[in-house]
Amino acid sequence: MSALNTFNLPDVGEGLTEAEIVSWKVKLGDVVAINDVLVEIETAKSIVELPSPYAGIVAQLLVDEGQTVDVGTAIIRIGSEADASAAPVGGPVSAHSSEPSAAAAVEGHRPLVGSGPRADAVKRRPRRTSTAVPPSPVPPSPVPPSPVTPLSERATEAPAARVLAKPPVRKAAKDLGINLSDVSPTGLRGEITKKDLLSYQDQRTAEQDGAGTFWQSAPERGPDAAADQRISRIQVKGVRKATAKAMVLSAFSAPHVSIFVDVDASRTMEFVKRLKTSRDFEGIKVSPLLILSKAVIWAAARNPSVNATWTGDEIIVKHFMNLGIAAATPRGLMVPNIKDAQDLSLKELAVALNDLASTARAGKTQPAQMAGGSLTITNIGALGIDTGTPIINPGEVAIVAFGTVKLKPWVLDGEVIPRWITTLGGSFDHRVVDGDLSARFMADVASIMEEPALLLE
């Protein structure tokens, strides 16, 4: 048989060093073509699907789901296209077949991840077992054990050793400290569902509560058990690990200066209301974030040095805008950016914002979508927060925090009336952006929020 092709974990991002195997999309014995998706991995930035560079039969899965491995590590081996063409059509090897198939031959090379029933059966096929029962002083059991487990029975044994669950369920179980093998599955394919996990958690909580209050029952379980019940341990990896490293690097390497401005955004709210009823924006989600994004792009064009990078030896001013939007996702904070946002119309920018948000929520943001950002907006107002002091995204020199927009008393022409008010917060790298420049930039952003018609000039 021809040699196996080994596929090593590639660097799918900029300087990726490791990734977690989230879920395999193939199993041993599967026939794959070039560019078929083999596995889903989680990098420090996003979830990525890896396509196959080879055609053939899956011979070995070298890494378990949930395991984190370094770039360059062998993760799968695939037999050649000749093996695939020789594979029988129509399912597994028959128990009565006189010759092992190409698929079975390939499976004989899979030592790391569950040797598998069919490969074992192929190797044992030449052996003959006598039907005679050797004499023994011990009375035989009612059902004597078979020296070789039948293929049909062995095929049902292997899946039992593997717990079936989708990646979100596995992550939830890890966060809750639940061993999936302890949970009873109810899924159609025998997989553990989110409902199963929550039911198990409720049962576990009820059992703990049934033993009395925690501090009454804890001594019976010992101090170590008591401590375990009162804390949760969450492994720092993936996006959370990358975010922590980046924020510490930014906070302690770039001298931050922050300023804030209250803005009467009433005309922005009126403009958004008109856009929502416009036929041109039908089916497109429109929010005040759209106007703020356009305002930031406009203000950065008037104050180019806020759209820059500090290298130590030089300041690189960018005459384009890759507008980053900080997004809270189930996997942690991500900052994908809209490439060349300065070239987009208001409608195109609205579509881009919608696509960015839906992709981030689905966990499908790719590393390339988060690379090369030039200035970032963080929309803390979506959570009802008035303002905050944001940390600059590494590689940039400015970030704008958009607070909630709500009715407040406001003095207009000497009268106190209710107006839609928001607070904008900006943080700047003082090595590049001086106080005067940061103030002018924030004033320009505020002017658009107060009068969106300025964008038409």
By the 8 A CB rule, do 1 and 68 touch? Answer: no
Contacts of 377 (CB under 8 A, 6+ apart): 289, 292, 293, 296, 323, 324, 325, 326, 399, 400, 401, 402
Give me the residue label for tokens 């096929």.
125
Out of 96, 256, 319, 430, the active site residue is 430
Cα maximum dimension of the chain: 110
By the 8 A CB rule, do 166 and 109 touch? Answer: no
Residue type for 222, please? Answer: G
β 308-310/315-317 pair status: antiparallel
Helix (H, G, I), strand (E, B) or coil at 133: coil
Please name the helix (run of DSSP H) or strand (run of DSSP E) that holds residue 359, with its range, or none.
Answer: helix 346-361
Is the sign of the CA dihedral 111, 113, 115, 118 positive or negative? negative
Phi/psi zone of residue 15: left (φ > 0), alpha (ψ -120 to 50 degrees), beta? left
Which whole-number Å values give the CA distances from 349 to 297, 301, 378, 445, 455, in the listed order?
Answer: 11, 16, 16, 17, 14
Contacts of 345 (CB under 8 A, 6+ apart): none
Which whole-number Å values give the CA distances from 446 to 48, 384, 393, 408, 427, in the listed order?
Answer: 38, 19, 22, 17, 15
Give me the residue label for tokens 């931050």.
256
Tokens of 258: 């922050």
Q: DSSP string of 178-192?
A: --GGGSPP-STTSPB
Residue 256 designated active-site: no
- At 349, give phi and psi (nearest 5°): -65, -40
Q: Which residues are catalytic?
A: 430
